[in-house]
Each structure stands twice: as structure tokens, then as C-alpha cells.
Amino acid sequence: MMRIPLRFRVTVASAASIALILGALSFFVYTRLQAELVRASDAGLWARAQAIASGMDQRNPSGFDAPDSQAGGFTQVLTPAGQLKASSGSLTPSLSAAELRMIRGPEFVSLAAVRGRPALRAFVLPTTEGQRLFVVVGSSMAEVSQTLASLRLLLVVAGPAALALACLAAWLLAGAALRPVERMCQEAAAISVSELGRRLPVPGANDEVARLGRTLNSLLDRLQGAIDREQRLLDDASHELRTPLSILKAELDLALSQARQPEELAAALLSASEETDRLARLAEDLLVLSRARAAGLRIYRMSTCLRDLLERACVGHEARASDRGARIECVAPAVEVPVDPMRLRQALDNLLDNAIRHGPQVGGLIRVEAAVSGEVATVVMENSGPGFADDLLPRAFEAFVRGNGDVTSQPGAGLGLAIVRAVAQAHGGTVTATNVPGGARLTMTLALNPAPVPGPA
């Protein structure tokens, strides 16, 4: 059934529903009309019988006034033994004594059709004064049967015609409703990597199809943004790798070009070693970001003293900070928290490195403060200096985003804060950057009771 086109399925479902509705409506109309016709006939028979019984002379029943001059009607006065005392009309059915004994009060009876006589509807009214007699008035059901037959013919002819028209309307309406979807399918099939800017046509109506189109276009926007970011990451990574590789090759070529003194060779090898270290750090950072983008950075939590971790990180950067005339302050509670100490230390190192490189040359202050509240640990790092540029602040945690001067006087690949965000997100937290009077502030939160994280494979 699922292989059948949706338009056909909608039409079949509509046809089945309409057929059920038409069948139920036809049955209701037919039975209702039949009941009304019989009720109207019974009301006339009852009035005629009452009129005859009230005007009948019990001593001479044959002298009653019979108001049944209509065609197909009859009136009879019967004794309990079934003898006919009086009658009028063209039809002369009779009730037997056994049938009359079964009648205890006013009662309607139906007389089946026999040869030469149609089906009849009769009303039997026993008299209660004087001699017990039965007044029987009736009429032919031919007109009722003819009316019902005409209605049946009309329903048999009009029902299928109405069903066919309804199916045609359902087919056309389904086609009109699905036409925007077909256009969106054609446009989606035409979208390729070289034409990521194309979008699906969205109908003007605010219906489900329009919402589907807007949702898919939003998905395409996100996919295009992700592909653009990946392309920028690839371009930036290629650019970052090209520089140290070029320097490394130049140093090696220069060392091999002619005979060199041991001091010159040592200097060349030292420069090559530094560029190799830079390549290794860049490759490691790219690997961390790649894992974070693919399936989330995997962490391994263990109980760690928050104060010890922060103090070790600050001590490791004190020499660099002192060389630039800055100092580092650390305030943290001595509490055990379930975190990944290696990844958190990596994030702290990146934050401190960023603060030292962008702080003032002399008299700078880098303050690291941590706190634990409930199930959340917060690490706040403030450094004096110019802070983030206005255009850089919204993109501070994107890969390869650097401030002015990073490429020359302050080398860096621009991956440090991106790794900080990946570490925070892996711990179920966030990281934000804001400018404050006299410097910048970075706030990292870590969830201490996240969902279980799978261990090493």
C-alpha cells in the first residue's frame, strides 16, 4: 500500500469515506421517508376508524357513514366470529375469527399482497358499547411502495454519480495540494554542492506544505552554514599548515645547501624543531576540534580537586606572564568535582595563553576565580587590557578567529577558544566572552551531574 502514489491513496480514502457517508445518508433518508409515509397513512386510518365508530348505530351497523371514498381504501364492520356486517370500498379483505380473538384493543395490522390485491395497511378498532364489533379501515400500500421505489431508483442512479464526482474532485484537489510538494522535490533534486544557495519554492498559503517548505529551507540554511564553516576550517587549516611547513623546508634546504658550521646547523635544527612543535600542536588542536564536531568530545570524569587543578595551571603560566610584566591571581575552593582533569587543564591553558597574549605589556592582571553552586562549577577569568573587538566578540569561539596582530607579533592558530568551547560543551556546560571595564571576562560553566558518558571503547 505504501508503494502506491500518495495522490491515489488520498483519492481512494476519500472515495471510501464518501461512499460510507452516502450509504448511511441514503439508508437514513429511505427509512425515514418510509416511516413518515406509514405514519401519515396510519394517522388517516385512525381518524377514519374513530369517525366511523362514533357514528355507527349498533342496532344497524350497515347504516354507518363511511368517509373512505379514496381509491384503494376499504371499510368493514366484523363480528367476533368474522362475519361481515357492513363494508365499503373496492377491496374486501377479511380477518378470521382466530385473528380477531388476538386483538385486545386498537391495533394496526399489515395484510400481505395476494393475487389480484396489493399489500394493505389496516386499523382494527373494537367497539366497547353494545354489541361487540370490529371496525376495520384500511388502504392500499401501492402509493407508498411506488414512492419508495422511485426513491430507490433515484438513490441507485444518483449515488454512484455523486460518488464519481466526489472521486474526481478528490483527485483534482489532491493533485492541487501536492503540486507544491512536487515543485519542491524537483528543486531539491536540482540542488548540488555547487549551488548551495538555491532554496525550495514555498507556497504563499500558511498551511502544512508551506511550513514543510520553510522547515526544509531552514535545514538547508543550516547545512550551508555547516559546509561553509567546514570549508573555512579547511582553508584556514591549509593556510596554517603551509606557513610552518614552508619555514621548515626553508631551514632544511638552507642547512643542506652548503657546508655549515656546527653552530649554524644547531640553530637551523632548533628552528626546525620549533616549527615541528608548532605543527604537532596544530595537528592536535585540529584533531580535538574534529572529534568535537563529529560526535562530541569524549571525556573521562574523575574526582579532581578544583583548587589544585587551577593552581597548577596558573603556576605553569607564571613565567610567561612575568616576562610580559603581568601577574596571575587564583581563587578557588578546595572541593572535589567530577571532571576530566586533562581536558579541563587544556581549556585552562588555552584561556591563560589567550589572556597573556592579549593583555597589556606591563602591569597587567589575570584573575582566575572558580566557584561551585549546586551541580554547576563556574570558572571566571578576567584580564586587563583592550578586551575583544566589537566585530570579534560574537565569533570569539569559532575556529581560526584571531584578533588584530595575532599573525605576526602574537602568533597563534586561533584554535584555543574553540577548544575551550568544545571542552565546556563536553562537560555539559557553556562558555561566554564579554568585555568589562578595563579588560575582558570569559566565563566557563561545567555541569557536575550530566547524563552518563561512555567510557573508552
Bridge partner list, 134: 78, 126
At residue 362, does pLDDT exceed 80? no
Helices (H), 324-399: 341-358
Q: Look at residue 381 in the predicted model and tell me its pLDDT.
A: 92
90-104, 254-268, 292-306, 425-439, range with greatest mean pLDDT = 425-439
What pLDDT digit, counting tens, does each position of 153-167 carry? 999 999 899 999 999
Quick one: which of 275, 246, 408 has its CA closest to 267?
Answer: 275
Q: What is the mean pLDDT of residues 443-450?
A: 87
| Domain topology for 208-291 | Helix Hairpins (1.10.287)
Q: Say how many C-beta atoms besides its own lie within 10 A of residue 249's C-beta.
A: 12
Q: What is the mean pLDDT of residues 332-340?
A: 92
Q: Look at residue 417 in the predicted model and tell me its pLDDT.
A: 85
Q: Look at residue 165 in the predicted model and tell me its pLDDT.
A: 92
Among the four given CATH numbers 3.30.565.10, 3.40.50.720, 1.10.150.170, 3.60.150.10, the one describing domain 299-447: 3.30.565.10
Q: Say how many C-beta atoms besides its own lie within 10 A of residue 48's C-beta.
A: 22
69-73, 123-127, 265-269, 273-277, range with greatest mean pLDDT = 123-127
What is the rounded CA–CA span in Å between residue 388 and residue 439? 8
Q: Which three cell numbers, joined as nine digits, stand for 49? A: 376508524
pLDDT band at 409 (very low <50, low <70, confident <90, very high): very low
What is the rounded CA–CA span in Å between residue 215 and residue 429? 28
Q: Look at residue 306 in the predicted model and tell me its pLDDT.
A: 92
Lowest mean pLDDT among 267-271, 297-301, 432-436: 267-271
Top pLDDT among 136 and 402 is at 136
At residue 225, does pLDDT exceed 50? yes
Q: Look at residue 241 in the predicted model and tell me its pLDDT.
A: 67
Q: Domain map of the chain by residue range?
A: 1-57+67-190, 208-291, 299-447
How would you label 362-391 residue by residue, b for 16+ Cβ within 10 Å and e otherwise?
Answer: eebbbbbebebeeeebebebbbbbebbeee
Q: What type of residue sits at position 52? A: I
Q: What type of residue sits at position 149? A: A
Helices (H), 258-305: 262-295
Where would I find the beta strands (DSSP E) of 20-131?
73-78, 84-89, 107-111, 120-126
At residue 446, does pLDDT exceed 90? yes
Q: What is the mean pLDDT of residues 34-51?
A: 89
Helices (H), 102-257: 142-190, 208-257
Q: Which three cell numbers, joined as nine digits, stand for 48? A: 377514519
Q: Look at residue 293 in the predicted model and tell me its pLDDT.
A: 65
At residue 318, does pLDDT exceed 50? yes
Q: Look at residue 303 in the predicted model and tell me its pLDDT.
A: 92
What pLDDT digit, counting tens, does each position of 132-154 carry? 888 888 888 888 888 999 999 99
pTM of the model: 0.48
pLDDT band at 410 (very low <50, low <70, confident <90, very high): very low
Lowest mean pLDDT among 133-137, 188-192, 304-308, 431-435: 188-192
Q: What type of residue sits at position 181? A: V
What pLDDT digit, counting tens, does each position of 188-222 carry? 888 876 677 788 888 877 778 888 888 888 888 88
| DSSP symbol at 380 | E
pLDDT band at 377 (very low <50, low <70, confident <90, very high): very high
Q: Look at residue 430 in the predicted model and tell me its pLDDT.
A: 92
Q: Look at residue 92 in the predicted model and tell me its pLDDT.
A: 65
C-beta separation of 364 from 379 below 8 A: no
Q: What is the mean pLDDT of residues 92-102?
A: 79
pLDDT band at 2 (very low <50, low <70, confident <90, very high): low
| Beta strands at 73-78 and 364-373: parallel, antiparallel or unpaired | unpaired
Question: What is the residue whose three cell numbers read 538555491?
Answer: 198
Q: Look at residue 406 in the predicted model and tell me its pLDDT.
A: 43
Lowest mean pLDDT among 13-27, 88-102, 272-286, 307-321: 272-286
Question: What is the residue whose three cell numbers read 607564571?
Answer: 318
Q: Look at residue 320 in the predicted model and tell me its pLDDT.
A: 86
Q: What is the mean pLDDT of the chain?
A: 80
